[in-house]
């Protein structure tokens, strides 16, 4: 079996598993939220669904064309964004979290056993020689700022602020649960991010990593998910004697399930944003069609499908991470303003806000220079640059707007607050 066929089969196994989990999610949601079964029984059923889905995946791996996958996923997210959360979103996440817990435990046990018993150590260099990668289109760029706009969910992410206000906050039983869910959830994601970096650095050689994540062949796509999955498969085979194929499939399933979860949550949030947009544009009376949730869900899905079908998002991807972290800076500024108005300590949100603003500005300026350079390059480079250059400039303008908002919030507090109040909040 050649490498391409092996990758297709492994991906097909994980895809089938995700399909089975998604198909059974409404049944689990009905049992949990309508029949009110005990949560321990729900956990047991979720674990059985996970194991059964993986078994079905090995028996019937699914392989579809990219265009067919776009259609299938679009139909799924349309229903996921329009239906009540207890039908698909909540039970799917309930099942996915079992995979997450098992994955983190297996990863940490493998790393600890590998280091203590088998002497496994990181093989990738701490500081890589980037000179050969400068002209590689998959090379992300300088350590700062590019690392700080690439690593998101395991550190800081503007998308998380949308999720927290758009869906998570509406599912809390009481406000006191917010810190436990939000803070501990980010700690868990940080732990997973560190574990993922160690797995890749320990189990893949420099040549393996570059061939998968930074291929020099323009016809070969970068595949960081496969890099992590293969690293996890090799780690679990070395330390826990699990066949590499099983560990690799588990690694892909660990990430693929959450990619789909992120997608349906993002489309649902986009539906909310459209609803808020209509309320701003039509202050007196919003047309009935624009108030219909299925219309806004369908509009969100249609835009998503168009971007995917035309591969437009591939062009916008270099700026996506920067936009996400710009949103993180804006969220930190909003929180800082809230703290200041209540005479609370605000330095611990203002400092990271300033860092993220500087990081996003630097990233946009570096990419702006690259896009201007690409205007004189090959036809495909010029085409990409013509799309990305105006987007980059627009985001620079938005970044300046974020800085103005931050300055306005702080100056307003200084004008209104007495000196002793300013000292009490640490600014």
Q: Do the Cβ atoms of 141 and 271 come closer than 8 Å?
A: no
| Tokens 């079996």 found at | 1
- Note whether 299 and 336 are same-domain residues: no
Q: Helix axis angle, 143-150 relative to 312-341, nearest 10°? A: 90
Nearest to 349 by CA among 338, 360, 335: 335
pLDDT of residue 298: 93
Please give the DSSP secondary-structure letter assigned to residue 38.
-
Q: Do the Cβ atoms of 267 and 301 come closer than 8 Å?
A: yes
- Note whether 99 and 213 are same-domain residues: yes
| Whole-number Å distance between alpha carbons of 259 and 253 | 10
Q: Do the Cβ atoms of 137 and 218 come closer than 8 Å?
A: yes
| Whole-number Å distance between alpha carbons of 163 and 331 | 12
In a domain, residue 314? The reply is no
pLDDT higher than threshold 90 for residue 190: no
In a domain, residue 15? The reply is no
Total domains in the fold of the chain? 2
Tell me the CA distances in angstroms from 243 to 159, 207, 240, one per residue in order: 36, 23, 9
Nearest to 100 by CA among 19, 189, 163, 181: 189
Produce one character per residue of 267-293: b if its CB has 16 or more CB atoms within 10 Å, e if not: bbbbbbebbeebeeeeeeeeeeebeee
Q: What is the pTM of this model?
A: 0.81
pLDDT higher than threshold 70 for residue 37: yes
In a domain, residue 12? The reply is no
pLDDT of residue 217: 75
In terms of phi and psi (left: phi > 0; alpha: psi -120 to 50; beta: otherwise), the region of 409 is: alpha
- Note whether 173 and 227 are same-domain residues: yes
| Whole-number Å distance between alpha carbons of 336 and 425 | 10
Helix, strand, coil share (%) of the chain residues, nearest 5: 80, 0, 20
* Number of residues written out for the chain: 427
- Note whether 328 and 297 are same-domain residues: no
pLDDT in tens, 168-187: 888 888 888 888 888 888 88
As a whole-number percent, the residues of the chain with pLDDT over 70 amount to 90
Give the residue, 47 or 412, on which the prediction is more confident.
47
- Note whether 304 and 324 are same-domain residues: no
- Note whether 305 and 342 are same-domain residues: no
pLDDT higher than threshold 50 for residue 1: no
Q: Do the Cβ atoms of 343 and 425 come closer than 8 Å?
A: yes
pLDDT in tens, 118-173: 999 888 777 776 666 666 666 777 778 888 887 777 788 888 888 888 788 888 88
pLDDT higher than threshold 90 for residue 44: yes
In a domain, residue 383? The reply is yes
Give the residue, 163 or 10, on which the prediction is more confident.
163
Tell me how many degrees the CA angle 228-208-66 measures, rounded to the nearest 5: 60
Kindly state the average pLDDT of the residues 322-333. Answer: 88
pLDDT higher than threshold 90 for residue 48: yes
Tell me the CA distances in angstroms from 156 to 3, 147, 186, one per residue in order: 35, 12, 8
| Whole-number Å distance between alpha carbons of 32 and 90 | 10
Q: Do the Cβ atoms of 148 and 130 come closer than 8 Å?
A: no
pLDDT in tens, 359-391: 999 989 988 888 888 888 777 778 778 888 888
pLDDT of residue 308: 83
| Tokens 């105006």 found at | 390
Give the residue, 221 or 424, on which the prediction is more confident.
221
In a domain, residue 136? The reply is no
Kindly state the average pLDDT of the residues 79-91. Answer: 88
Q: Do the Cβ atoms of 39 and 110 come closer than 8 Å?
A: no
Q: Which of 285, 309, 333 is the last residue of a domain?
A: 309
Domain coverage including residue 216? 65-124+162-309
| Whole-number Å distance between alpha carbons of 203 and 118 | 12
Residue 323: CB partners within 8 Å, gap ≥ 6?
Answer: 158, 395
Report residue 89 as tokens. Answer: 């979103």
- Note whether 287 and 406 are same-domain residues: no
């Amino acid at each position: 079996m050649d490498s391409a066929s092996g990758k297709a089969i492994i991906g097909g196994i994980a895809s089938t598993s995700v399909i089975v989990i998604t198909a059974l999610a409404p049944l689990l949601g009905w049992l949990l939220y309508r029949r009110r079964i005990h949560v321990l029984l729900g956990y047991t059923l979720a674990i059985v669904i996970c194991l059964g889905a993986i078994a079905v995946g090995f028996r019937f791996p699914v392989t579809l064309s990219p265009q067919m996958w776009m259609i299938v996923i679009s139909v799924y997210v349309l229903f996921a964004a329009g239906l009540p959360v207890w039908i698909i979103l909540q039970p799917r996440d309930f099942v996915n979290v079992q995979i997450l817990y098992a994955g983190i435990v297996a990863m940490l046990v493998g790393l600890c056993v590998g280091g203590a018993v088998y002497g496994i150590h990181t093989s990738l260099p701490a500081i890589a020689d980037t000179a050969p990668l400068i002209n590689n289109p998959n090379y992300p760029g300088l350590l700062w700022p590019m690392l700080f706009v690439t690593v998101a969910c395991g550190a800081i992410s503007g998308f998380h602020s949308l999720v927290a206000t758009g869906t998570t906050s509406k599912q809390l039983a009481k406000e006191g649960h917010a810190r436990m869910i939000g803070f501990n959830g980010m700690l868990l994601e940080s732990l997973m991010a560190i574990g993922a970096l160690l797995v890749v650095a320990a189990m893949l050689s420099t040549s393996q990593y570059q061939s998968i994540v930074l291929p020099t062949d323009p016809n070969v796509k970068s595949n960081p998910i496969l890099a992590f999955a293969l690293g996890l498969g090799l780690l679990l085979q070395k330390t826990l004697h699990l066949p590499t194929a099983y560990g690799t499939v588990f690694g892909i399933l660990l990430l693929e399930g959450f990619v789909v979860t992120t997608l349906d949550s993002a489309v649902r949030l986009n539906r909310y944003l459209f609803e808020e947009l209509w309320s701003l544009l039509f202050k007196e009376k919003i047309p009935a069609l624009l108030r219909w949730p299925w219309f806004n869900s369908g509009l969100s899905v249609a835009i998503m499908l168009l971007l995917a079908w035309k591969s437009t998002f591939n062009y916008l991807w270099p700026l996506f991470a920067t936009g996400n972290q710009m949103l993180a800076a804006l969220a930190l500024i909003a929180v800082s303003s809230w703290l200041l108005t209540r005479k609370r300590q605000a330095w611990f949100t203002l400092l990271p806000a300033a860092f993220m603003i500087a990081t996003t500005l630097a990233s946009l300026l570096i990419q702006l220079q690259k896009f201007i350079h690409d205007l004189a390059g090959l036809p495909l480079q010029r085409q990409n640059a013509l799309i990305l250059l105006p987007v980059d400039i627009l985001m620079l303008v938005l970044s300046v707007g974020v800085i103005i908002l931050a300055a306005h919030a702080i100056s307003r507090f200084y004008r209104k607050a007495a000196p002793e109040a300013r000292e009490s909040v640490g600014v």
